[in-house]
Structure 1
Amino acid sequence: MMGIEEIKRIIPHRPPMLLVDEVSELAHRRRLTGGLTVAGTGPMPISLLLESWGQAALVLIRHDRPMPDVLTDGVPVAGVFERIRYGRPVLPGEKVTHRVTMDRLIADTAFLRGDSVVGDEVVLTVGRLVGAMRSAESLRAAIAAGSAVTA
């Protein structure tokens, strides 16, 4: 349904940190199925597996409001990940499929959950992700002030 070029028009990530290369199902602001064929010479680091799932979630959140440039379109911020569980390592050449469900979207704050599978085997479970959009200016101001990002 959606390939890497269309994904790049929706989210700001670019290779080598673009970690979603296809979307096979997309139900507007409800759910997404997409994934990545893992490259490299060793198992995918668990931090990158979670990042890949998060990028799939971002495609779901922003598919109807593309944001390819963080300086003008806003910066996606993962505020909270809860109830994360990892299964076995994902190996090079394997296709990991992310399944993301959006529970709520309030303004620019989204509440999501889901999992990632290789074949029928669950390799990641995300109990909840709370993500938000922030302007580049608000993040710069928070960093300059040495404070947490709240606006």
Structure 2
Amino acid sequence: MVDQLTQITDQFEASWNAHEMTVFGQLFHDDATFVNRYATYWRGVDQIVAGHCAIHDSIYRDSSLRVDPADIDPIDDDAAILHFWTRLSAGAAHPAGPHQADTLILAVATRRNGDWRIQAAQNVTLADPRTGRELLRAS
């Protein structure tokens, strides 16, 4: 189970960095949900892919993502919770210019017909709760 779930996070990083959102979409069940770091809610893999295509064709077209190893909590033989940190490096295409952001993703992965995929994911940006200023983790 752990090896298959680790493949999800490895592919998350690889597909982001290749800007291959069709491949990115294959990480999700057809009826999956995704909440991005700005609280945009997408239901279904088509919306998830379309939303990510829009940002990868524009502000994140020159971005890269590093995904840290996931903290995996099995629920049963066919479900697990993953928490994983990412460091986004935005490039010159971003309106704010080159910068980095750390986010924590909570994903629920389930196995259907032998395939592990993400059923639900939510991405939050690390920020100071008193000021809202984005923070970076000590690496």
TM over 0.5: no
Please give the TM-score of this superposition, normalised by the length of structure 1: 0.32
Please give the TM-score of this superposition, normalised by the length of structure 2: 0.34
